[in-house]
Amino acid sequence: MKPVKAQCEKCNHVFTVRFHKLRLPNRVDKHFFICPNCKEEYVSYYSNRKMVQLQDEVSELYGKFRKCRMEEEAKVLDMKLQNKQAEYERIRDELKTKVEGE
């Protein structure tokens, strides 16, 4: 994976991002990185088991979508993909609200 650069909003330091993962209560994982200069923390996202499962399902559907040859099958797979992605985004947003609202 290509290194990701970021600029800290607090101290303007430019650095290569080093991602961390921390297990929170209720089996929620916090994905974040920290500015090495001022130690400001930036949360990328939160995840749980359901989100990982949905990501796996989306990957599987993409694989089937790329291999399909019939237009009707492609439409069905595309609809399934859109539904899974919408469910993933809904869960992601609910999880963020729940964790950051505590």
pLDDT the model gives residue 102 = 62
Co-location of 81 and 53 in the same domain: yes
The domain that contains 28 carries what CATH number? 2.20.25
Give me the domain span that covers residue 16: 1-46
What confidence tens digit (pLDDT) does each residue in 48-83 have? 999 999 999 999 999 998 888 889 999 999 999 999
Burial of 40 (0-12, 13-18, 19+ CB in 10 A): middle
Distances (CA, A) of 28 to 3, 49, 63, 80, 92: 26, 8, 28, 26, 11
For CA atoms 48, 51, 57, 62, give the dihedral sign: negative
Tell me, yes or no, if the pTM score tops 0.75.
yes
| Inter-residue contact 32 to 20 (CB < 8 Å) | yes
Co-location of 81 and 97 in the same domain: yes
Token pair, residue 60, equals 């599987």
